[in-house]
Chains A and B, each alone.
Chain A
Amino acid sequence: MQAPSTTRSEILLGARDMLPMALAAATYGVAFGLLASQSGFSFLQSLSMSAMVFGGSAQLVALDQLTAGAGVAAAIVAGAALNMRILLITASMRSALVQRPWWQIATGVYLATDASVALMQTAKNRGALASYWYLLGGGALLLLVWVASTSIGAVLSQGIPDPARFGLDFAIVAVFIALLPGLWRGRSDLFPWLVAAGTVALFVVLFPSLAGWGLLLGAISGAVVAGLSHDN
């Protein structure tokens, strides 16, 4: 049983470490809210989608499919394909979730995003494993910012300057790139990473509209190569 003060400080630390990612997500959230309301989503619909799906690229793709008239099923499949990579993230959150009561597991997986990888990495750089409450604090802040920024975009819906003019659309890309040096564990990572990147590249060239599956296949191929190699 943890002392409440430890729980509280872990939650706050997680929220603090999430701030840069939350900032990057906010620009994306405003953009989604804007697009959604222009595509005929009501305020409540945009809000619900951000709260329930909690994945920017998946939401944008589903929105795109709907407005293209592809139908509900196609929109769900396309969005789910992009969110499929979160399966790999909750899998790697295992040690923080295991042996927790069911409702904490239910909440913990709900808050898992790409940014959770960043949090786990930040904790690791500090020499500790990311704890449950640390991930919860970060995830809760991100969800809050995500839903709030979606609402702002949905309400304003016009008159916002193009974020691309300020390079803000690059913020999320920069976050992922900045994670790479910390994730690099040494030369044994080289081949798995090349396989992951190469698989995505090849897949996207062959099937440009199936990027979500390419991501999943790339990450899994890299992990398989790492698993099968023996120079541990």
Chain B
Amino acid sequence: MTTEIWWTVLGLGAASYAIRLGGFFLALRLPQSGAWARGLDALPGCLIMALVALMMIKGGVIEWVAGLIALLVAAKTRNLPISMLAGVSVVAGLRLFV
């Protein structure tokens, strides 16, 4: 098992680094204007949206309620720590009582 673990650590470490480097070199080759640039500009938003969608699918009603509240607080305050605190408190509170 311990050899297996080391190979996994090294293999996944190397793969992860190759992925990180690959993204930068990929972006170097993409055009700076037009459709490619529009797509690249939209990428961070789409990625975070995809992550949130995945997390919400995995969650239940408590997570949906807390997620909605965190979203409203973030839209209102634009403050990351406060929004995080709101979401975490709602989850903790609801898990306590529901």
Contacts and interface: CB of A to CB of B under 8 A. Distances in A.
Contacts of A106: 21
A177 B38 contact: no
Contacts of B17: 52, 109-110
Interface of A: 19-21, 23-24, 40-42, 45, 48-49, 52-55, 58-59, 62, 66, 71-72, 75-76, 79-80, 83-94, 97-98, 105-106, 109-110, 112, 114, 117-118, 120-122, 125, 164-171, 173-185, 189, 192-193, 195-201, 204-205, 211, 214-215, 218-224, 226-229, 232
Interface string B73-90: 111001011011011111
Given A79-B12, A92-B40, A226-B41, A200 B54 contact: yes
Nearest to A195: B46
Nearest to A181: B75
Main secondary structure, interface of B, reads helix
Contacts of A215: 47, 50-51, 54
Contacts of B30: 91
A66 B78 contact: no
A92 B73 CA distance: 27
A193 B49 contact: yes
Main secondary structure, interface of A, reads helix
19 contacts: A52-B13, A87-B20, A88-B23, A90-B22, A91-B23, A92-B44, A167-B87, A171-B84, A176-B55, A177-B52, A179-B80, A180-B45, A182-B74, A189-B45, A201-B53, A218-B46, A219-B43, A223-B39, A228-B35
B5 A45 contact: yes
Contact of A193 (B4, B24, B46, B93): B46
Given A76-B11, A93-B24, A211 B80 contact: no
B47 A219 contact: yes
Contacts of B83: 174-175, 177-178
Nearest to A65: B8
Given A76-B12, A181-B71, 17 more contacts: A76-B11, A83-B12, A86-B19, A91-B27, A94-B40, A112-B23, A165-B92, A174-B67, A177-B70, A178-B83, A182-B74, A200-B54, A200-B57, A214-B50, A219-B43, A219-B50, A228-B39
